[in-house]
């Protein structure tokens, strides 16, 4: 755990959030500034800065996070099937538009139109 990290603190329950899911590995919660009708964030509980740091050793939990993201999307208002769906985004580094330096997956969904922010950056 990195003690200066916002998403470490949220995933440890030290800073409040609107939690939608938690297990040993992951914590998911509502984005505080939603850019779409459904806008959730899922983070690993271990501190990983961004996708720039991952290696083949991380393939297992990264795969589990993607599978979990689809489940959480559907359980929280993203509509199923080809007419529905969702977007998964992980901004990495300054050029990637990352503001919080703890790897996170944005889950965006719900009926369109979404805000311009969602289509640019999330």
Query: Catalytic residue numbers?
Result: 104
Distance CA 122, CA 91 (A): 8
User: What are the residues whose beta carbons fall under 8 Å from the beta carbon of 116, sequence distance 6 or more?
Assistant: none
7 versus 26: smaller Cβ distance to Zn ion: 7
Nearest distance in Å: CB 46, ligand AMP: 17
Residue 122 binds to Zn ion (criterion: CB under 5 A)? no
39 versus 102: smaller Cβ distance to Zn ion: 102
User: What are the residues whose beta carbons fall under 8 Å from the beta carbon of 55, sequence distance 6 or more?
Assistant: none
DSSP assignment letter at 33: S
Which parts of 32-61 interact with Zn ion (CB under 5 A)? 47
2 versus 90: smaller Cβ distance to Zn ion: 2
List interacting residues with ligand AMP (CB under 6 A). 6, 17, 31-33, 41, 91, 97-100
39, 105 Cβ separation under 8 angstroms = no
Closest by Cα among 96, 75, 101, 74 to 85: 74
Residues of this chain that bind Zn ion (CB under 5 A): 2, 5, 7-8, 47, 102
């Amino acid at each position: 755990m990195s003690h200066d990290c916002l998403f470490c603190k949220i995933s440890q329950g030290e800073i409040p959030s609107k939690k939608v899911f938690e297990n040993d590995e992951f914590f998911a919660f509502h984005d505080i500034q939603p850019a779409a009708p459904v806008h959730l964030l899922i983070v690993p509980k271990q501190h990983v800065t961004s996708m720039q740091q991952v290696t083949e050793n991380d393939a297992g939990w990264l795969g589990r996070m993607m599978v979990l993201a689809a489940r959480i999307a559907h359980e929280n208002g993203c509509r199923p099937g080809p007419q529905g769906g969702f977007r998964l985004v992980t901004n990495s580094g300054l050029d990637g538009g990352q503001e919080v330096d703890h790897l996170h997956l944005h889950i965006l969904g719900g009926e369109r139109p979404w805000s311009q922010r969602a289509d640019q950056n999330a």
